[in-house]
Structure 1
């Protein structure tokens, strides 16, 4: 393969990954400066997914794939989704979401050819989500009132593209964690890392997203802990981080508590901003045996008109106990593979992504459908993939005039 062809293929693969990110941004969120019809946003996101699949197929016409447990389980997740959606209890939208999930998983299968345990897809991930956060920052500069509306309690939202505070917090936390790990592994320089980390931290703070903040710190602690025995930089960073956290906890205790509570009462905080009431109602609702096994079909992750905001309960509601089992297997398999791998930067990045998704699953939905969380887990699978075996160099055939006479005599006429 020529260098130009390899470079062109790499750009196409990066574009496909970026289109998958665009597809998972969603169509529901805050009011934007320029009102965008939801149908237009859905057309853009679905068009991005179709384009991603078409490009991935065009660059992988021979359908070369790298089978893996994660992709197999994601494909298996389609079974309860289709079975529960086929009776149209959740409307035709359920079948549409099944088709979207199938196209999403199919695109990941086509991309698996380039999953070689390198950091290539991690860089794609950081660049695309940093571009998304750039649109959020631009909206904040253009219209601070629209970017931090009273409807969301003054928390940062997307003013150019409808993004909610939890979405922005998630994107910021993920790219901060990955960039910190790349910096510790000396795969990027301090200036480039600061360009990503500093503004992302500011945006994360403005969203007041507790789940993303906890996921970032706990995920980084686990990831860096996996590098402590082999990396002096990781040991130094961990020591300084613990020291700074202790000082901040003492010096800014009241400010941190106020930021964490977001002006809520202790009662409201204890029931997770009303989430617990929705969860109790969902679990208490009567269900048939079929609904318990396969769910009611892919929907908008809501119950009684209110968001479920819990991946496990959302999967149970829409894909049943079988769906919960499959999603659990995905997390356990990826976590088990990460623990069995020798210490490396790729392993640390995978541990961060897996632990972040596991923590966020308690207050965020998305593990059972095409979403950023499934994309994070797919990235973790690409980081844990074994490097592709290098093809042995072929020996060029010598012209006949260069073959010794004694060798020519042994030839069969």
Structure 2
């Protein structure tokens, strides 16, 4: 893994801010198995639908692997936290409340028995996050796990590109990069590349890694992002980084220098490479196709025009595959409205309002900047990508943001060794 995950700062410096009064005791250390559990959650959210792979993988086999990863993550998290010590927070509380409209709507079986299965999956997903919340202490631990795991996923994409360029850049997707070893779509790859690029840049500015280690992650991730031609991920990366770095400008000289150079380079690139950037951005589409967001607007209009009962408006039709009329919805808010109703939209909006409000109220810090980047990226991507109402990478991104915004835990006091009085030798006692 390219990013140096060691602590920064002088020897003996704490990894997080000073503990606040009344904070829960912090565990002696984060077990390595926590990273394994986080990786299993990421594996579960990779999905089973996508491009054709070099070695055909039955979808049922992929679904067994992804669901098995979720069960394994829950069991492992439970084994690590047998005493059920958790860090209560608004994010997990609101996410748990989201189960209510999901179960109510899915119980009608309008979306089939698959809806109940997805509710069970979401419950296990949220339960695993509750168990892992014990180690949410405002530090960058889960940022590191996030970068490691998604960098490994991107490594498999790069390996597939080298092994079979034709399969990795198929005509079916307009020559955009897909997963040739695991069925990943261009938007998925673009999302993973954008997120870890942004986090690696912020770790570099916060002096939590060196330039070489950061470049090992940033450079190949940007190359893969460019090959996916994913506009949403690209905009989310740049806007999210602008907001995150802007939160550090007043307190970090490195952030000010980076921001100044980024603005200068962006202006030069816009002038010198304007036509090339426009061609990349349009992806060969007509202005009409671009204006209706590659046909998404037609699906959205049809979804909003469909008749609904009062119950369906309030609680939705149940968890499904994020499609309407056989076509993908590709909008988190409309997907939540379709599956969990207005209640689901209110809860998802509350998640963004609470996390964003907490981030704005915190003093400038690297943890706050990373949280702002993740929150803003998910908000931007929600317009053209679905996933905020079900187990997805977006909920994991927001979980990392919640872990960064958690109040630092107080270090548990070390046990004081019992001091026994010195025993005199028998010969000394006799002489005495």
For residue 114 of structure 2, the aligned residue among 93, 104, 118 is 93
Alignment of 1:187-202 (within 5 A): 187-202=208-223
Partner of 1:275: 296
Instruction: Quote the Cα distance in structure 2 between the aligned partners of 1:395 and 1:211.
Output: 55
Instruction: Quote the Cα distance in structure 2 between the aligned partners of 1:237 and 1:10.
Output: 34
Instruction: Quote the Cα distance in structure 2 between the aligned partners of 1:93 and 1:217.
Output: 37
Instruction: Quote the Cα distance in structure 1 between the aligned partners of 2:150 and 2:415.
Output: 41
Partner of 1:143: 164
Q: CA deviation at 1:390?
A: 2.1
Deviations 1:350-370 (A, max 9, x none): 000000000000000000000
Answering whether residue 151 of structure 2 is matched by residue 130 of structure 1, we say yes
Q: CA deviation at 1:88?
A: 0.6
Partner of 2:257: 236
Instruction: Quote the Cα distance in structure 2 between the aligned partners of 1:214 and 1:173.
Output: 9
For residue 345 of structure 1, the aligned residue among 366, 381, 385 is 366
What SS class does the counterpart of residue 46 from structure 1 fall into?
helix
Deviations 1:293-348 (A, max 9, x none): 00000000000000000000000000000000000000110000000111000000
Partner of 2:46: 25
Q: CA deviation at 1:152?
A: 0.3
**Counterpart contact for 2:28–2:412, Cα < 8 Å:** no
For residue 244 of structure 2, the aligned residue among 223, 227, 233 is 223
Partner of 2:376: 355
Instruction: Quote the Cα distance in structure 2 between the aligned partners of 1:84 and 1:254.
Output: 49
Answering whether residue 94 of structure 2 is matched by residue 50 of structure 1, we say no
Partner of 1:115: 136
Instruction: Quote the Cα distance in structure 1 between the aligned partners of 2:53 and 2:75.
Output: 30
Instruction: Quote the Cα distance in structure 1 between the aligned partners of 2:315 and 2:346.
Output: 11
Instruction: Quote the Cα distance in structure 2 between the aligned partners of 1:360 and 1:197.
Output: 20
Q: CA deviation at 1:11?
A: 1.1
Partner of 1:178: 199
For residue 56 of structure 2, the aligned residue among 25, 32, 35 is 35
Q: How many residues align?
A: 397
Q: CA deviation at 1:392?
A: 3.9
Q: CA deviation at 1:389?
A: 1.3
Answering whether residue 34 of structure 2 is matched by residue 13 of structure 1, we say yes
Deviations 1:132-175 (A, max 9, x none): 00000000001101000000000000000000000000000000
Structure number with greater CO (CA < 8 Å, separation at least 6) is 2
Instruction: Quote the Cα distance in structure 1 between the aligned partners of 2:392 and 2:413.
Output: 39
Q: CA deviation at 1:401?
A: 6.1
Instruction: Quote the Cα distance in structure 2 between the aligned partners of 1:291 and 1:256.
Output: 43
Instruction: Quote the Cα distance in structure 1 between the aligned partners of 2:291 and 2:399.
Output: 33
For residue 68 of structure 1, the aligned residue among 89, 103, 112 is 89
Instruction: Quote the Cα distance in structure 2 between the aligned partners of 1:368 and 1:143.
Output: 35
Instruction: Quote the Cα distance in structure 2 between the aligned partners of 1:21 and 1:383.
Output: 18
Q: CA deviation at 1:393?
A: 4.8
Structure 1: runs of 5 or more not aligned = 403-413
What SS class does the counterpart of residue 330 from structure 1 fall into?
helix
What SS class does the counterpart of residue 177 from structure 1 fall into?
helix
Instruction: Quote the Cα distance in structure 2 between the aligned partners of 1:396 and 1:34.
Output: 59
**Counterpart contact for 2:28–2:411, Cα < 8 Å:** no
Instruction: Quote the Cα distance in structure 2 between the aligned partners of 1:245 and 1:400.
Output: 72
Partner of 1:406: none
Instruction: Quote the Cα distance in structure 1 between the aligned partners of 2:172 and 2:336.
Output: 28
What SS class does the counterpart of residue 124 from structure 1 fall into?
helix
Q: CA deviation at 1:399?
A: 2.7
